[in-house]
C-alpha cells in the first residue's frame, strides 16, 4: 500500500515563523534579521545603528556559536539583549525565536534586531518570522558573493555593503555588484555603509525608521 | 522524497543520513528514493515557462527576474509504501 504524505520538512519552522509574525504584528514591533558571513560587519553595523536610533526602544537577539562577546559589546546601546548560543549549529530557527518572544520582554521594544550566525547559506533557508531580512556583504569579501550565494540575496529585502572606507584598497566592483543584484532580486534595497567614517549610516537608519512607521500605521 | 533543486538539500547527503538512521531498526531493509525536482516558472513579462537557474533565476528569453523561487526550495516526503 502506498500512502501519500506530501509533507514539507521545513513546515514546522514555517508554522513557527508564522506565529512569530502574528505576535509581532499584534505588538507593532519591527523585527530585522541580519545575515552575512563571519566578519562581514554585522555587529559593527548593529552597534552604530543602535547608537543612531537611540531615541527608540531597541532590543537585540544575538546569535553566536559559543561566546557572548558580541552581546557584551552591544549591551550598552540597546534596551534589552538576549544571547543565543547554538553550540555549533550554523543558523537560528523560528521556534527558538518564538520561545524568546514569549519568555523575554522583547515585545515591548519598537525595533528588534536579530544577529544571525555568520553564514551565507543556512540562515537564508530558515524564516524566523522577521519583517525584513537584510544580508551584509563587506567589500573585502569581493563583489562576486551574490553570484556564489544567490539564495541569500534572492530572499532578502535589503543588502548592505559594509566597510566601504576600504574600497580604494580592494578590487571591489560596485557597479558589477549592482548589476548582479538587480538580476537576482529587482526589489532589493541597497545600502553602502562605513561604520568607520559614518558614510551611508543615515540612509540605512532612515529606511528602518520609515519601515517602522509603515508597520505602526498598518 | 522530493527535493527541489534550489532547496540546498543534497541527494547524496539525504541518502547517507536516511541509510544510517534506519540501521538496526525495523526499517533497516527499507529502500529510499530521493527525486530532484526542477524549479520552473512562467515568466510574468513574456509568459515563457523557464527553469529557474542560479545565480540569477532570470527568464532566458526576456531577462525578467523570477517572481518567487519558493517551489524549487521545497523538500518533502511524497509517499511511503509497505506491506
Q: Domain segments of chain A: what residues?
A: 12-217
pLDDT digits 0-9 by tens, A104-153: 889 999 999 999 999 999 999 899 999 999 999 999 999 999 999 999 99
Q: Which residues of A touch B74 (CB under 8 A)?
A: 8, 10
**Cβ contact, residue pair B54, A1, below 8 Å:** no
**Cβ contact, residue pair A180, B55, below 8 Å:** yes
Q: How confident is the model at residue A6 (pLDDT cuts 50, 70, 90)?
A: confident
pLDDT at A27: 94
Whether the pLDDT of residue B70 is over 90: the answer is no
Q: How many CB atoms lie within 10 A of CB A176?
A: 13
Q: Which helix (H) or strand (E) holds A2?
A: strand A2-8
Whether the pLDDT of residue B71 is over 90: the answer is no
Asked if residues A40 and A138 have their Cβ atoms less than 8 Å apart, the reply is: yes
Helix, strand, or coil here: A16?
helix
Asked if residues A164 and A136 have their Cβ atoms less than 8 Å apart, the reply is: no
**HSE-CB of A189 using CA atoms within 13 angstroms:** 13
Helix, strand, or coil here: A162?
strand
Tell me which of B54, B55, B81 to substitute to probe the interface with A (most A C-beta atoms closer than 10 Å).
B55
Residues A186-214 have a mean pLDDT of: 97
Question: What mean pLDDT, rounded, does chain B reach?
Answer: 90
Dihedral angle sign, alpha carbons of residues A19, A95, A106, A203: negative
Asked if residues B57 and A154 have their Cβ atoms less than 8 Å apart, the reply is: yes
Residue-by-residue DSSP string for A101-149:
HHHSSGGG-SEEEEE--SBSSGGGT-----SEEEEEEEGGG-TTHHHHS
Q: Alpha-carbon distance A21 to A29, whole Å?
A: 10
pLDDT at A218: 81
Residue B39 at interface with chain A, using a CB cutoff of 8 Å: no
Asked if residues A115 and A46 have their Cβ atoms less than 8 Å apart, the reply is: yes
Q: Alpha-carbon distance A105 to A211, whole Å?
A: 22
Q: Indicate the domain borders of chain B.
A: 2-76
Residue B55 at interface with chain A, using a CB cutoff of 8 Å: yes
- Choose the CATH number for A12-217 among 2.60.120.590, 1.50.10.10, 3.40.50.300, 1.20.140.10: 3.40.50.300
Closest-CA residue to A142 (of A113, A114, A120): A120
Angle at A91 (CA atoms; ends A118, A63), nearest 5 degrees: 65
Q: Among the listed ranges A39-43, A180-184, B62-66, which one has the minimum average pLDDT value?
A: B62-66
Candidates A7, A182, A183; nearest CB to B77: A7
pLDDT at B66: 87
pLDDT at B9: 85
Torsion of CA A88, A92, A96, A97, to 10 degrees: 150
Give the residue numbers in A contacting B (CB under 8 Å), as ranges: 1-10, 121-122, 125, 146-148, 150-151, 154-155, 180, 182-186
**Cβ contact, residue pair A184, B80, below 8 Å:** no
pLDDT at A13: 93
Q: How confident is the model at residue B10 (pLDDT cuts 50, 70, 90)?
A: confident
pLDDT at A75: 95
Q: Which residues of B touch A151 (CB under 8 A)?
A: 6, 8, 54, 69, 73
Q: Among the listed ranges A2-11, A35-44, B59-68, which one has the minimum average pLDDT value?
A: A2-11
Q: Which helix (H) or strand (E) holds A85?
A: strand A80-85
Whether ipTM tops 0.85, in short, is no
Q: How near does any CA of chain A get to the CA of B24, in Å?
A: 24
Q: How near does any CA of chain B get to the CA of A190, in Å?
A: 17
pLDDT greater at residue A88 or residue A199 = A199
Closest-CA residue to B45 (of B23, B65, B20): B65
**Cβ contact, residue pair A183, B6, below 8 Å:** no
pLDDT digits 0-9 by tens, A147-187: 999 999 999 999 999 999 999 999 999 999 999 999 999 99
Asked if residues A94 and A58 have their Cβ atoms less than 8 Å apart, the reply is: no
Residue % of chain A over a pLDDT of 90:
89
The per-residue b/e assignment along A53-74, b for 16 or more CB within 10 angstroms, e otherwise, is beebebbbbbbbeeeeebbeeb
Using CA atoms, how far residue A19 sits from A3, A94, A109, A163, in Å, is 30, 9, 18, 36
Amino acid at each position: 500500500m502506498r500512502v501519500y504524505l506530501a509533507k514539507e520538512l521545513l513546515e514546522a519552522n514555517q508554522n513557527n515563523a508564522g506565529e512569530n509574525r502574528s505576535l509581532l504584528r499584534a505588538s507593532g514591533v519591527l523585527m530585522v534579521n541580519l545575515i552575512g558571513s563571519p566578519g562581514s560587519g554585522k555587529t559593527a553595523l548593529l552597534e552604530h545603528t543602535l547608537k543612531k536610533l537611540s531615541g527608540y526602544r531597541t532590543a537585540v537577539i544575538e546569535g553566536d556559536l559559543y561566546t557572548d562577546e558580541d552581546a557584551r559589546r552591544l549591551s550598552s546601546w540597546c534596551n534589552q539583549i538576549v544571547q543565543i548560543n547554538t553550540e555549533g549549529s550554523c543558523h537560528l530557527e523560528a521556534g527558538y525565536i518564538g520561545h524568546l518572544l514569549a519568555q523575554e520582554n522583547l515585545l515591548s521594544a519598537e525595533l528588534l534586531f536579530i544577529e544571525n550566525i555568520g553564514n551565507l547559506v543556512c540562515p537564508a533557508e530558515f524564516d524566523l518570522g522577521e519583517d525584513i531580512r537584510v544580508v551584509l556583504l563587506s567589500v573585502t569579501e569581493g563583489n562576486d558573493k551574490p553570484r556564489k550565494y544567490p539564495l541569500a540575496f534572492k530572499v532578502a529585502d535589503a543588502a548592505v555593503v559594509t566597510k566601504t572606507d576600504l574600497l580604494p584598497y580592494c578590487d571591489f566592483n560596485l557597479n558589477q555588484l549592482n548589476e548582479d543584484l538587480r538580476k537576482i532580486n529587482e526589489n532589493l534595497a541597497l545600502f553602502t555603509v562605513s561604520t568607520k567614517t559614518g558614510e551611508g549610516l543615515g540612509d540605512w537608519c532612515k529606511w528602518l525608521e520609515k519601515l517602522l512607521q509603515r508597520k505602526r500605521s498598518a | 522524497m522530493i527535493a527541489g533543486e534550489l532547496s540546498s538539500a543534497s541527494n547524496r547527503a539525504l541518502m547517507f543520513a536516511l541509510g544510517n538512521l534506519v540501521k538496526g531498526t525495523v526499517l533497516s531493509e527499507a529502500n529510499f528514493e530521493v527525486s530532484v525536482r526542477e524549479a520552473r516558472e512562467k515568466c510574468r513579462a513574456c509568459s515563457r515557462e523557464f527553469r529557474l537557474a542560479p545565480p540569477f533565476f532570470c527568464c532566458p528569453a526576456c531577462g525578467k527576474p523570477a517572481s518567487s523561487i519558493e517551489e524549487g526550495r521545497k523538500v518533502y516526503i511524497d509517499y511511503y509504501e509497505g506491506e
